[in-house]
Structure 1
Amino acid sequence: MKFERIHFLASDAPQAQRALRRLAKRYGNAKADDADVTVALGGDGLMLQALHECLKSGLPVYGMNCGSVGFLMHDLVEPDLQDRLASAHETLIRPLAMIAKTPDGKKHERLAFNEVSLLRQRSQAAKLKLVIDGQVRLDEMSADGIILSTPVGSTAYNLSAHGPILPIGTPLLALTPLSVFRPRRWRGAILPDDSKVRIEVLEADKRPVAAVADHDEVRNIASVDIAVDTKRGVRMLFENGHGLAERVLNEQFKY
């Protein structure tokens, strides 16, 4: 496929803004409605923003690193961009769909490409009940919170919380506790990606909890229901030898 009309999306970082000016001068900068592809210039935070935008536009997205981490990005190489886009291969990324319910019964629906995390809002630990596919797996967990991560997000917050890295393409999700106090030795679980996860907040008035889908927060929740959205997804473009699967594999051998 030829990508002649490129829409550039850049973070506010000076390096990204300078790259945007150079690339727009070289290739033009099409509006999203008229483009064939979105090229994201920044770090992984900007890539998350691009994924959410491309979920609406339907455009494939390709990233170039102008940030600090850039796990999801390629190196910033400006020449021959259209040729590299044309030869790149696609990986379909599906988000997690989160429905957070507050004590007044109101539902808040959000999407997350990296993870859904539940976090305590006060000094006291959160108390949570974990239900998987309708079956109670933990009656009560006391912790700072918990993360449900996709393979894409498994190298982000999940990894920093000592959760497992999931190779791209595996039909799995990582459920990782944050500073768990009870059960003392519980270290999380790996779930099939068709699992329906429900997390209920115990003692919500005394121990309030926020739910965060990527960067979108809902505070003072009573419960969340989380599942992979099988009807929506975004096509990410990766050059040969720089795919997510290879990056995830390399990450497991760093020290």
Structure 2
Amino acid sequence: MCLFRIIKSRIGNKMSQKIAFTASRAEVAQTARAALITRYGNAKPEEAEVIVALGGDGFMLQTLHDMQHLAAPVYGMNRGTIGFLMNAYSEIDLQDRLAAAEEADLNPLSMIATKADGSIAKALAINEVSLLRAGPQAAKLKITVDGRLRMAELVCDGALVSTPAGSTAYNYSAHGPIIPIGSEVLALTAMSAFRPRRWRGALLPKKAVVQIDVLEPEKRPVMAEADANSVMGVVSVEIRSEPSVVHRILFDPGHGLEERLINEQFT
């Protein structure tokens, strides 16, 4: 399965879908949810044919994680400060927009983080898995890809592995590449690399297994994050794509992630 693929919405042309509305804590999102429920009703998430998330990108990621056990796709409408994963907000014609929507299927990254005490923490990331220094000194990392040592020592503020969907987020802020949908690659990007000087990272096949070991973890502590899930005091992290998990996102025609990722490179 591709890391990300665009298909026609499975919602079809139903005249009336069962919708479950969820919203961030922001007042504007809560107000929008109340108005939409008044107009369209509100199904239980377990019974819904589509879930509408109201908020920003952070809330969209939270909703995708929370609802990943359900079959219904998620359609986001922007009621936050950032909306790269969201559609424009409107109270009218929602049923028609859902019927015409295009679906994008995402496979997240799997993170297996080992802590200094030997305990294991696991999490999934739709955008990226990152390792960040957790003390005053730069981190020292060793990078292995598919069992082959690729970098014996990277001195940096951190490093991350990003999906195409997350390539315009933290990855892009760290000067990583924007990855087109369908390219079937992951971005390995360094943050403020000191040695090797200004090393920007690498593009890897989506099937690659990345192992990042922390050198001198007591002197140079490192934390790991899978989207918003943080793990302190890690000594090693394994990162790979997880094809067994599929997140379904709906976009208005002509405004899907493929178009947005291309357009972002020209703005």
TM-score, normalised with respect to structure 2: 0.93
Q: Verify the 8 A CA contact 1:59 1:234 in the aligned structure 2.
A: no
- 1:70-219 matches, within 5 Å, as 70-219=83-232
Q: Verify the 8 A CA contact 2:146 2:208 in the aligned structure 1.
A: yes
How far apart, CA to CA, are the structure 1 residues paired with 2:25 and 2:84? 18
**Alignment partner of 1:239 is 2:248:** no
How far apart, CA to CA, are the structure 1 residues paired with 2:203 and 2:19? 38
Q: Secondary structure at the match of 1:55?
A: coil
How far apart, CA to CA, are the structure 2 residues paired with 1:87 and 1:228? 29
1:171-221 C-alpha deviation (Å, 9 max, x unpaired): 011111001100113110011100000000000111110000000000000
How far apart, CA to CA, are the structure 2 residues paired with 1:119 and 1:105? 19
1:129-166 C-alpha deviation (Å, 9 max, x unpaired): 00000011000000000011000000001111111001
Aligned to 1:220: 233
How far apart, CA to CA, are the structure 1 residues paired with 2:198 and 2:256? 35
- Give the aligned residue type for 1:36: E
Deviation at 1:58, TM superposition (A): 2.5
How far apart, CA to CA, are the structure 2 residues paired with 1:54 and 1:169? 24
Q: Secondary structure at the match of 1:63?
A: strand
Q: How many residue pairs were aligned?
A: 254
Deviation at 1:57, TM superposition (A): 1.7
From 74, 80, 105, the equivalent of 1:61 is 74
**Alignment partner of 1:52 is 2:49:** no
Q: Secondary structure at the match of 2:167?
A: helix
From 21, 29, 32, the equivalent of 1:19 is 32
> What percent of counterpart residues are identical?
56
Deviation at 1:247, TM superposition (A): 0.5
- Give the aligned residue type for 2:74: V
Q: Secondary structure at the match of 1:15?
A: helix
Aligned to 1:230: 243
Q: Verify the 8 A CA contact 1:58 1:234 in the aligned structure 2.
A: no
- Runs of 4+ residues over 3 Å off in structure 1: none
How far apart, CA to CA, are the structure 1 residues paired with 2:256 and 2:182? 11
How far apart, CA to CA, are the structure 1 residues paired with 2:60 and 2:213? 31
Q: Tell me which protein shows more helix as a share of its residues.
A: 1
**Alignment partner of 1:38 is 2:51:** yes
In the alignment, structure 1 segments of 5+ residues that lack a partner are none
In the alignment, structure 2 segments of 5+ residues that lack a partner are 1-11
How far apart, CA to CA, are the structure 2 residues paired with 1:207 and 1:7? 46
Q: Verify the 8 A CA contact 2:105 2:246 in the aligned structure 1.
A: yes
Q: Verify the 8 A CA contact 1:154 1:163 in the aligned structure 2.
A: yes
Q: Verify the 8 A CA contact 1:174 1:191 in the aligned structure 2.
A: yes
Q: Secondary structure at the match of 2:255?
A: coil
- Give the aligned residue type for 2:263: N
Q: Secondary structure at the match of 1:18?
A: helix
